[in-house]
Amino acid sequence: MTRPHDLLAAVADGVDPGPFALVRREGADHLDLFTGTVDVADRLADLPLPDDAAAGAHTLALVPYRQVTERGFDCVDDGTPLEYLAIDGHHVIPLASALAALPEAPVVSDGAAFDVTDEEYARTVERVLAEEIGRGEGANFVIHRTLHATVQGSPLRAGLAALRRLLCGERGAYWTFLVHTGTRILVGASPERHVSVDDGLVMMNPISGTFRHTGAAADRDALLRFLRDPKEVEELYMVLDEELKMMATVAEHGGQVVGPYLKEMAHLTHTEYLLAGRGSKDVREVLRETMFAPTVTGSPMENACRVIARHERTGRRYYSGVLALLGRDAAGRQTLDAPILIRTAELSPTGELRVPVGATLVRHSTAAGEVAETHAKAAGVLAALGLGPQAPAPGAAPVVRPDRPGPARPAPRPGPERPLADDPEVRAVLAERNDALARFWLDQRVPGAIALPGLAGRRALIVDGEDTFTGMLAHQLGALGLTVDVRPWHRPAPVDRYDLVVVGPGPGDPGNLTELKMAALRALLAARLDAGLPTLAVCLGHQLLAGLLGLPLHRRAAPYQGLPRDVTVFGTPRRVGFYSTFTALADADRVRTGHGPVEISRDPADGAVHALRGPGFAGVQFHPESVLSRDGLAVLADLLGHLLERPARPVPAHASPDRG
């Protein structure tokens, strides 16, 4: 049964037509109907995508959160399967025809309640702020809760009715969809592309910052206050940095940042960036390397998964996973389109309803604010399911918005449904967000354009302390002329063939030397210092280096997580980004140590050490590779000149590659 009207008529008659998916992608005037058979894979690499497959969509995968164990990360394993639809039929249904065929009957649900009460969730927020962010475990974390209810009548008809309401009542969704596998129904309107691959172009779409409103459009003055709110600005910056880390892994030269833009929906307005970069990896590998979006987990990623496992009672099932549509284009190249599974309801064949939602916790968060955010995020799906503010009347027209801009287009096109996005002051406030960011990530990069003399043929090793900022650092050092390898801290290998060893960032308490990671990184640094070999230490590495040099370590009362600051680095004013809870302290600008004299750049107010350098070594507390570090590339160029004993070609403080 593959004809669209036959399929929907069967549902209306109470007949299960077999597995199918209905998908409306952003701006489309039609729905795609995919039919086929459902199977289960163990790993993403097992998803079928034959080399000789014809052009078109071949596999639609429902990727659960537990799949993050493929990367060796922690999770509460609830056994949710990696189901996929092996597509054997594809039909295009005009939007008007789909609305005419979808059921209009209201969805009746009862017994709605969150599995975690508002009070319990607020206490969890406070614990994460104090025990995780406050102790250096990361910059931000997403903790979820799930609303449970029971749907009366046919779950499939209820899901299709909910889909109709979402098509009519939601706007700005990247995918609006229903997937029926026979064992479950997923229906939702996800605002966020996780990752896509088309013609070798990899794109990601970090969305963060949530402005709640009740009308069809947000209040302009309130929106402007939201756009200037430091918490909301920093929240988006942090997930931008985290997704740039992922792009550093799957794109050949890392990602280019485009935006920011507004993402306007029926109940919420978000801010967003687009990231784009060229890559050649298998799309299943791209999926694996980007599990999962920091907007629904936190950063740094590996430790965010540990924090989630410590504080969430139950597994996430499909929440924060992705739908992944895999296929090939007319030239035989692999394609991928994967929205994040948020603003999504899961229905069982017996009518059990689950609507999971989460809030992003950062250093400025309040328990009450994050509780309110979970309610707001659930509102759109709940309205479609009859559990919240009512969706538009059955005959209401759906919103069709213009296509979103690609990386080469500077701004969204005007349209009557996006008046605030085109307001000059709104656009100006958004544009101001980029003024203090690193041009390295905002501009197109030409290989070799900013390489420094004397570095060709020289090799650097970056030792990763469980923060993939190291991938971004590798791209910057490579752009400056080094050949760079990255290695996890726990994988021993010789380092003597490298001209420079970089001991990179990571979460944790640098004073806890009984922890294996801290002991291993400290031992590596000690060996390098004793041998007088060129060594650069970043963030956690810098803290461990400072400890070896005899400087005391201090935990900040207010963490510097995702914080850009203007500081002086060896006599030069620099704008750099911090992600730290701990810092070394010094009471002088020069100190003598067992490893020679050390020059220190420190905060004049509290003595916090921003940077240090001595014979053959240097350390920085900030992240020169971060998008927050406008002057990070210039700092790296100066440090390479110091460490590798070559005349440094001056790099302007706001250096960016030639556009060519």
Residues acting as catalytic residues: 539, 623, 625
Tell me whether residue 119 is exposed, middle or buried, using C-beta atoms within 10 angstroms of its C-beta: 0 to 12, 13 to 18, 19 or more. Answer: exposed
Residue 250, both tokens = 């799957």
Distance CA 420, CA 472 (A): 34
Cα 456 to Cα 451: distance, rounded to the nearest angstrom: 8
Phi–psi pair at 381, nearest 5 degrees: -70, -40
**Contacts for 361 with CB less than 8 Å, ≥ 6 apart:** 125, 128, 129, 133, 140, 141, 142, 143, 298, 370
Phi-psi domain of 132 (left: phi exceeds 0; alpha: psi -120 through 50; beta: other): alpha
Q: 493: number of CA atoms within 13 Å, CB side?
A: 13
Count of Cβ atoms closer than 10 Å to residue 178 Cβ = 24
Report the 10 Å Cβ neighbour count for 48: 15
Amino acid in position 648: A
- Measured at the CA of 302, the angle between CA 301 and CA 307, to 5 degrees, comes to 90
Angle between helices 4-12 and 155-169 (to 10 degrees): 120
C-alpha 628/C-alpha 225 separation (Å) is 22
C-alpha to C-alpha distance for 378 and 356, rounded to whole angstroms: 8
Question: Cα–Cα distance between 635 and 648 in angstroms, integer?
Answer: 11
Which among 406, 400, 402, 140 is positioned nearest to 259, based on CA atoms? 406
* Nearest CA among 385, 443, 362, 453 for reference residue 125: 362
For CA atoms 414, 416, 420, 423, give the dihedral sign: positive
Contact 198, 353 (CB under 8 A): no
Render 373-404 in DSSP notation, one character per residue.
HHHHHHHHHHHHTTSSSPPPPTTPPPP--PPP
Residues 159 and 185 sit within 8 Å (Cβ to Cβ): yes
Structure tokens at 376: 């707001």
Taking the C-alpha atoms of residue 650 and residue 652, their distance in angstroms, rounded to an integer, is: 6
What the block records as the tokens of 127 is 């614990």
Looking only at the bridges linking them, the beta strands covering 483-488 and 459-464 are parallel
Tokens of 169: 């009542």
